[in-house]
Structure 1
Amino acid sequence: MKFVCSKSNLVSGLQIAQKAVPAKTSLSILQCILVDTTEGVIKFIANDMELGIETRVEGTIIERGYTALDARIFFDIIRKLPDSDVTIESTNIEGSIKITISCEKSKFTILGRSGDDFTYLPVIEKIDGISISQYTLKNIIAQTIFSVSEKDTNKLMGGELFEIDGNILKMVSLDGHRISIRKVELSNGYPYKKVIIPAKALGEVMKILSDSTESMVSVYFTDKHVLFEFDNTVVVSRLLEGQYFNIDQMMMSDYETKISINRREFLDCIDRATLFVKEGDKRPVIISIEDDYLEMKINSAVGAMDEKVEITKQGKDVKIGFNPKFLIDALRVIEDEEVDIYLVNPKAPCFIRDADSSYNYLILPINFTTVN
């Protein structure tokens, strides 16, 4: 194998592929990236058996072949080379694969591994799928992924519901303390589909996607896998098996209090309150809603804060406590200038949602009487 490729193309391709290289594994081959030029294009492939990524870069192929290279060493060498064309060549000497990397006056030699030991990505038939803009998919992931559970107590909480009903795509995540729901309208209608995609896969896809509304992503499904195809990249992930939670039973429409508040003012107020919350501290911010204002208080060993924000209120006065991080996470991804918040009582969840329910965030309160 021998090819010539610009440093910038190599760096961008390797940055994408290495997202599927596991940080720790007992199988050393999984810490490699497969470099494959057998089909007349330069492909970088990584696969940790749960998530796989294949991306193509432009270059000139002199001799076709394939070999597996240690991902960390390979990338570290490439990113420190001069900004010029790079020549990569493999030779087999007495059963040992030697890789030579040359760029201007720099020359590195590293050991490669047989590509035959590498597990390629599963073959997915591109039949059952949808098309969506990169911008839209990137946004809907960002607006829900933060409430995926980071604990391993329930594997389904480590993924997101990806549900297609006609021309509506709905994504749902939850962690036992909050629920995030986003809906977007697709340009076409599709058969009903309901799968659970691991958050790890969605997070990596989100990082690779562009902000372009013109560029599209094709998403295909099988019983066990999901495939994302866009630009020169393919991402394949296993699906999580099981029945997702009945979200509809958790989402109430009744409320005793509704407030409308400037999102930016509310977010900044909560952000200031977190100055007195240490990481891991479960102390809530106390919110009192009365007449035409919302008052926020927090007391800790570090200090105290008391601030008021103007609101429009319907219904009863209420006093309730929340984990400030949960409020911040939801408010940061909402784009509306003003948000509507619905409450029932101090022990019931609050809902932040718009009139069309294109977004709906449920947040459980904290019993502040025991901590304040």
Structure 2
Amino acid sequence: MKFVVDKDILQDNISKVIPAAASTKVTSILECILIEAEDSIVFTTNDMKMQMQTEFEAEILERGAALVKAKLFSDIVKKLPDGDVEVIREDNEVRIRSQKIEFRLPTLDPLDFPKMDKKPAESFCEFVASEFVDSIDRVIFATSKDETRPTFTGVLFERQEDDFVNLVGMDGHRLAICKIKPVEVEGSFSKIVPADNLDDITKIIDIEDAEKVRVSFYENQATFEIGSTTVIVTLIAGKFFDYKSAIPTEYSTRISISTDVLESTLERASIVSKDEKTNIQAVIFETNGMIFKVYSMSADGRYEEDVLCSVEGKDIKIGFNVKYFLDVLKVLDGEINLFITSQTSPSIVQKPDDENYIYLVLPIKMPE
């Protein structure tokens, strides 16, 4: 095997597949990147939970294959100077050359590497890439890191009978729902994709500068096709929470406010909001007629502010976790509505001109 390619092209394509190279030594092969030179260059990684493969053009002088440690290969290429890089396999060694620099790495047998296991699609959906990334960003932050509740660690992809796909993320304290209209869709599905994998996939979309993303489902597998890159992930087993039943159908108070104003207010409130026992940063919203007051308190001090906004409905006093509001404000801009039902019911955050995105957040016990 022998090929020559520009360093930036080589580095970009390594970065597309490096997330699926195992970082723990489950087995040395899964730490590796499979390099194949035939009509084009193909890179493949596989940690048995996620498989990644990308294809690109290069000057191929000799066909062949090699299997080297992915992180080591990536670290070497990052440190090479700009310009052409020559990659050569000779016997059980891979040589990486650039100008007067040469690295030599041992290669394992490429035939021992697990092949890509792409299944035929039972259902699929295709999205405009930029809309897909924006929609994932709006829900992924609401997923959980708690692996004892695995269905909460993924994003639900759901399509029933209409033309939209629902993307849903939740952690038991908050819920984010984004409806996105695909360019093309076939079949009904309800599949949970690991949030960590989706985070890697959105980064690939940026590198690929792709126009579309195609997602195919087959039993416990999802395949993402992004330009010249294919990602196969193992879906999370289990039934997702009945999120639709959690959405309040009525409210008692509506607060209309600028995201910039609310974000600045909450950032100030968070300075003296941390409870040392629970480690929760609590904030209290209170309305009195047309007045909206935000305050927080802790052993460190007390904060209070009358906030400029529009208030309708009953007077209310309710506590929230500051973090859960600051997170959603990072993915929204302009004016938002906050719909409050009671001190114990979930509240809704929604833009007045966007019915396709809903964010629910549970209240917390107010500090005394």
Amino acid of the residue matched to residue 205 of structure 2?
A: L
1:124 deviates by 2.5
Q: Does 1:191 align with 2:191?
A: no
Q: Does 1:310 align with 2:305?
A: no
Name the CA distance, whole Å, in 2 between partners of 1:159 and 1:283.
25
Q: Any idea what SS the aligned residue of 2:183 has?
A: strand
Name the CA distance, whole Å, in 2 between partners of 1:327 and 1:14.
37
Q: Does 1:330 align with 2:328?
A: yes
What is the total number of aligned residue pairs between the two structures?
A: 364
Is the 1:9–1:58 contact (alpha carbons within 8 Å) kept by the matching residues of 2? no
What does residue 12 of structure 1 align with? 12
1:214 deviates by 7.5
1:138 deviates by 0.5
Q: Does 1:288 align with 2:286?
A: yes
Q: Any idea what SS the aligned residue of 2:188 has?
A: strand
1:127 deviates by 6.5
Q: Does 1:346 align with 2:343?
A: yes
Alignment map for 1:115-154 (pairs within 5 Å) = 115-125=110-120, 128-154=123-149
| Normalised TM-score (structure 2) | 0.94
Is the 1:35–1:42 contact (alpha carbons within 8 Å) kept by the matching residues of 2? yes
What does residue 29 of structure 1 align with? 29
Is the 1:138–1:211 contact (alpha carbons within 8 Å) kept by the matching residues of 2? no
Q: Does 1:176 align with 2:172?
A: yes
Amino acid of the residue matched to residue 225 of structure 1?
A: Q
Amino acid of the residue matched to residue 175 of structure 2?
A: I
Q: Does 1:83 align with 2:82?
A: yes
What does residue 205 of structure 2 align with? 209
Name the CA distance, whole Å, in 1 between partners of 2:20 and 2:169.
22
1:253 deviates by 1.0
Is the 2:216–2:222 contact (alpha carbons within 8 Å) kept by the matching residues of 1? yes
Name the CA distance, whole Å, in 1 between partners of 2:312 and 2:210.
42
**Cα pair distance change 1:212/1:361, threshold 3 Å:** farther
Name the CA distance, whole Å, in 2 between partners of 1:68 and 1:213.
28
Tell me whether 203-212 or 300-309 shows the greater mean CA deviation: 203-212
1:153 deviates by 1.6
- Can you give the 5+ residue segments of structure 1 that lack an aligned partner in the other structure? none
Is the 2:121–2:218 contact (alpha carbons within 8 Å) kept by the matching residues of 1? no
Name the CA distance, whole Å, in 2 between partners of 1:110 and 1:274.
51
Name the CA distance, whole Å, in 2 between partners of 1:189 and 1:53.
23
Name the CA distance, whole Å, in 1 between partners of 2:281 and 2:134.
31
Is the 1:134–1:211 contact (alpha carbons within 8 Å) kept by the matching residues of 2? no
Is the 1:133–1:213 contact (alpha carbons within 8 Å) kept by the matching residues of 2? no
Amino acid of the residue matched to residue 113 of structure 2?
A: F
1:345 deviates by 1.5
Identical-pair percentage? 30
Is the 1:2–1:87 contact (alpha carbons within 8 Å) kept by the matching residues of 2? yes
Is the 2:192–2:236 contact (alpha carbons within 8 Å) kept by the matching residues of 1? yes
Amino acid of the residue matched to residue 174 of structure 2?
A: R
| Normalised TM-score (structure 1) | 0.93
Q: Any idea what SS the aligned residue of 2:108 has?
A: strand
1:362 deviates by 0.8
Name the CA distance, whole Å, in 2 between partners of 1:100 and 1:308.
66
What does residue 61 of structure 1 align with? 60
Is the 1:99–1:111 contact (alpha carbons within 8 Å) kept by the matching residues of 2? yes
- Can you give the 5+ residue segments of structure 2 that lack an aligned partner in the other structure? none
**Cα pair distance change 1:12/1:219, threshold 3 Å:** same
What does residue 357 of structure 2 align with? 359
Is the 1:134–1:215 contact (alpha carbons within 8 Å) kept by the matching residues of 2? yes
Is the 1:98–1:111 contact (alpha carbons within 8 Å) kept by the matching residues of 2? yes
